[in-house]
Amino acid sequence: MDVDAANEVVVRRILESHPVLVGVGRALDVVPGMRKDLILHAGPPVTWDRMCGPLRGAVIGALLYEGLARDEREAGELAASGAVRFEPCHHHAAVGPMAGVTTASMPVYIVENRTFGNRAYSNFNEGYGRVLRYGAYAPEVLDRLRWINDTVAPAIGEALQRMGGLDMKATIGRQLTMGDEGHNRNVAGSSLFARQLAPALADCDLPREVLSGVLRYLADNDLAILNPVMAACKATMDAAHGVSGSSVVTCMARNGTEFGIRVSGLGDRWFVAPAPVPKGLYFPGFRDEDANPDIGDSTITETAGIGAFAMAASPAIVRFVGGTPQEALTATLEMYEITVAENPAFAIPQLDFRGAPTGIDVRKVVRTGITPRVNTGIAHREPGVGQIGAGLVRPPIRPFQEALRALAELVSP
């Protein structure tokens, strides 16, 4: 088995992937393997007893949202009882930021990889403040979630259909030339998203207060496009998964307790280690001891070569760690050390339009000791408080070392 040859196949699949946001559907109807008693969450598999605060809060909120429990206490008992199941979004071609909690009746974005035909899914972004993805489940949180899911999502779905879909590959490429890196900064991308949706929304025959509300949702939410971007990255990396012998990482995700990776040539196995706490800047009134360990599927962006890997394109982000634009360049240049390709579709202006570093090779990570950089929001460790800052984090190296060992066993048992 030739690892390099296998990686070339993987690289080709990544670079040839062409994700397009084609519409919106109900999770139960469109997400493969979705069931009413199933709660999808971010990161590698985790049981209720090991879940961190924000994830537990989001689970409670989701059970209330789905009407499976009447109050917090009942929801907690139900979650602990085993009557509802927990599975990673990643096991269902889905991704979700932070807690990533997705349940049967929630709407999801549908991204189709036009080259390979596979699809990936992501829930809707609730914006900033007290939101489910950070573990909040107060009545007003659930009310807003219902409004997004019942009003915003169908409108955007209809608009997307009228548009014939939205090309995510081109949109991400454009975001990167506009100061976004696609993970922590999506201001430009969300603006493009709103700009492209607006005329189609206007054509949709929506009641005026609905149209106004949807446009306001898009106008106010700098993260609106994050979830479609993540689904686009997921659709790309799923197409690259399952190439025998490949050492390229196709998934990095955290559940707030553990950080885990999957590798193209190593099937469904997860390689995990305790999730580290991000280093960053905090909103007024919060400090690092308030921070939850790293959480969310949004590291799919770094896995696909954007996010912190495209940091050079987004000098504004390094200010979260008091950095300089030069440090943004250094961050991206360092990621070329551990990747096997450069993606010309995601060209970085600050590096003279060099393609973003793409395809993390576990061999290179172990050899250099350089672990992937990750840009991330920081969640409060108590459920429901929400985002308390943003920063950067390096995952532990152990999962990469274990993946290398597993790959070596496959090569010559």
Partner 1 sequence: MPVVGRVHKGRYHDSVALMQAQQILRQMPGVEEAGVVMGTPANLALLRDAGLDAPELAEAGPDDLVAVVRAATEADALRALERLEEALSTRSRGEGPAYRPRSVRTAVRALPGANVALVSAPGRFAAAVAEEALREGLHVFLFSDNVPVEEEVRLKQLAQQRGLLVMGPDCGTAMVAGVGLGFANRVRRGGVGIVAASGTGLQEVACLVHRWGAGVSHALGTGGRDLSDAVGGASFTAALAALSADPDTRVVVVVSKPPSPRVAERILALARRCGKPVVVNFLGARAARSREGIYFASTLEEAARLATTLAGARPGEPAAEEICAPPRWAVGQRWVRGLFVGGTLCAEAQLVLRQRLGRVWSNAPLTPDAKLAGVTSREHTVLDLGSDEFTVGRLHPMLDPSPRRHRLIHEARDAEVAVVLADVVLGYGAHPDPAAELAGAWEEAVDVARAAGRELVCVASVCGTELDPQPYAQQVERLRQAGIVVASTNAAAARLAAGLCAGAAPPQEAGPLPSVDVPDAEEPLPATSDALRSLLRGPVRAVNVGLETFAQSLVAQGVPVVSVDWRPPAEGDAGLLALLSRLGG
* Least Å from the CB of residue 373 to partner 1: 13
- Please name the residue that has the structure tokens 């949004």: 298
CA 316 to chain centre: 20
Residues that bind partner 1 (CB under 8 A): 2-4, 18, 20, 114, 167-171, 173-174, 177, 247, 326, 329-330, 333-334, 336-337, 342, 344-345, 347, 349, 351-355, 361, 363-364, 366-370, 401, 404-405, 407-408, 411-412
The Cα 13–Cα 110 span in angstroms is 20
* Two structure tokens written together for 108: 């999801």
- For residues 294 and 402, which CB has a smaller minimum distance to partner 1 in the complex? 402
- Please name the residue that has the structure tokens 């559940």: 255
The Cα 397–Cα 269 span in angstroms is 17
* Least Å from the CB of residue 146 to partner 1: 33
* Least Å from the CB of residue 80 to partner 1: 40
* Least Å from the CB of residue 176 to partner 1: 9
Closest CA to 298 of 233, 395, 359: 233
* Least Å from the CB of residue 196 to partner 1: 10
- For residues 15 and 64, which CB has a smaller minimum distance to partner 1 in the complex? 15
Q: Please compute, for residue 33, the number of CA atoms within 13 A of its CA located in the half-sphere on the CB side.
A: 15
- Write the single-letter amino acid at 246: S
- For residues 161 and 177, which CB has a smaller minimum distance to partner 1 in the complex? 177
- For residues 20 and 79, which CB has a smaller minimum distance to partner 1 in the complex? 20
Q: What are phi and psi of 407, to 5 degrees?
A: -65, -40
Note whether 243 and 225 are within 8 A (CB).
Answer: no
* Two structure tokens written together for 26: 């109900």
* Least Å from the CB of residue 178 to partner 1: 10
- For residues 170 and 281, which CB has a smaller minimum distance to partner 1 in the complex? 170
- For residues 79 and 249, which CB has a smaller minimum distance to partner 1 in the complex? 249
